[in-house]
Structure 1
């Protein structure tokens, strides 16, 4: 039985199917999705439907990302966040054009059921973005940080690699968990197109919303699998605006 963490999909159903074909998932395997299922490429609604059906066959955990919060608000009461609209929201709304109100309600329930983080039996944290509380994700006062914060990852990137985890210099925020898996901040921002490690954090978002790939990683062995670059799979689309 294996456990995989899957990076931000952003409406790239073709990439998700391609990734699964490479991963060869078997019965009993666990899948933890890091959030941001929508906004970017043209198949956001189709991705959500695929994931709902997938959850009926496999052990799945779907972490909620910031784009999922925006999509949930729109599905609930037609709230259109201007920032969301400019960063993939329009494409997500368009992808629902042929979906019935009944299916939309099912998708809304799916978004509403998503946890903001997950901690497994080995004290590994899965969270879309990060957290700011010195006491860990469970004590986060500002819940938005769990799907918006970048400071946790930035701190890990800036650390002196010689600092050991049992050192008094090791950041307290990182000491709560054996490992932390995140998405949200594309590794291609750092000219890296594969999952990145900094301290005890693994970043699985390899830029599928933009010019990168969709990635999945075996959280025990750290073997990873990737789709093609998303612009190759959607040659007639632009993807998300990176600004």
Structure 2
């Protein structure tokens, strides 16, 4: 089967100024491990499943002894299938073996869901930012959620109902998501890092929320920071960071960076790739 999601080289962008101090810095290295880092999914199950197919195809085409798959957070909200996305990523994590490690980080949207399970007062904020769609994936009507957003007592009713409807495995998965992960010369976090703090002294609010201070920094953080959170038209590949969030809910594009040794590559799932996958799945199988 032809792979419609073929990896592409991802060069380091040095077009803007301020990178001279990186000329004497050794490039980040994963040693003998390949890393697949996937940007914000936001409840888009078709893209997730296609990306998993693409990664399997990439591993078949480029065999390696061990791979680490890192989800950079914001599995949920905005898209229609948050429950199914949680189910699939949790299952993939449980199915991991000695050849594959699966890490899923907490994004700010995942943290909102976890917070709502103990505090109904967050519903007016979370509901406007995609929580309505996540609750709909657990069987709530828009009217129920909107009532909860307008009335604290109704919000508590929704919270208790979600606890009853949400499998314990899903609650445990969301509650247990780490804020960061490190491997080789790379540091992974949903939003980024505070440039004024060491990687070992980062705070939750920075790892899940930071934007401008991090995004405009040309600091050598000690490791290349791989993140999502701030969507762009394309993946940013810079000397000190890689932004993998391509705004799936607005663009229909899910991106994954492939890091191996000192090389960077890119796998993209867009509407054309989804269409190609569906067509391949519909082709008759010949024995």
Same fold (TM over 0.5): yes
Where in structure 2 are there 5+ consecutive unaligned residues? 1-32, 60-64, 141-161, 276-287
Q: What are the within-5 Å matches in structure 2 for residues 139-150 of structure 1?
A: 139-140=201-202, 142-150=203-211
- Give the number of equivalent residue pairs: 209
What is the root-mean-square deviation in Å for CA atoms of aligned residues?
Answer: 2.5
Change (3 A) 1:139 1:44: same
Q: C-alpha offsets along residues 25-67 of structure 1, whole Å, 9 cap, x if unaligned?
A: 6584210110000001100011000011111223111111000
Q: Deviations over 1:187-222 (max 9, x none)?
A: 12xxxx3x2123320000011132241111112232
Q: Where does 1:56-205 land on structure 2 (aligned, <5 Å)? A: 56-58=94-96, 59-97=101-139, 101=164, 103-120=166-183, 122-132=184-194, 134-140=196-202, 142-156=203-217, 159=218, 171=219, 174-177=220-223, 179-188=224-233, 193=234, 195-205=235-245
Task: Decide whether aligned partners of structure 1 residues 111 and 79 sit closer, same or farther in structure 2, where only a CA change above 3 A counts.
Answer: farther
Q: How much has 1:76 moved relative to structure 2?
A: 3.9
Deviation at 1:145, TM superposition (A): 1.3
Instruction: Report the Cα distance in structure 2 between the residues aligned to 1:33 and 1:95, rounded to whole angstroms.
Output: 20
Query: What is the CA distance between 1:19 and its match in structure 2?
Result: 1.5
The structure having more radius of gyration, on CA atoms, is: 2
Secondary structure at the counterpart of residue 249 of structure 2: coil
Pick one of 212, 224, 232 that aligns with 2:266. 224
Report the secondary structure of 1:215's partner residue. Answer: strand
> Among 59, 68, 93, which residue is 1:55 paired with?
93
SS at match of 2:264: coil
Q: 2:118 & 2:50 partners in 1: Cα distance?
A: 31
Is the helix fraction higher in 1 or 2? 2
C-alpha displacement of 1:100 = 8.2
Distance 1:186 1:100 in 2: 31
> Tell me, what secondary structure is at the counterpart of 2:47?
helix
Within the alignment, does 1:18 sit opposite 2:50 as a pair?
yes
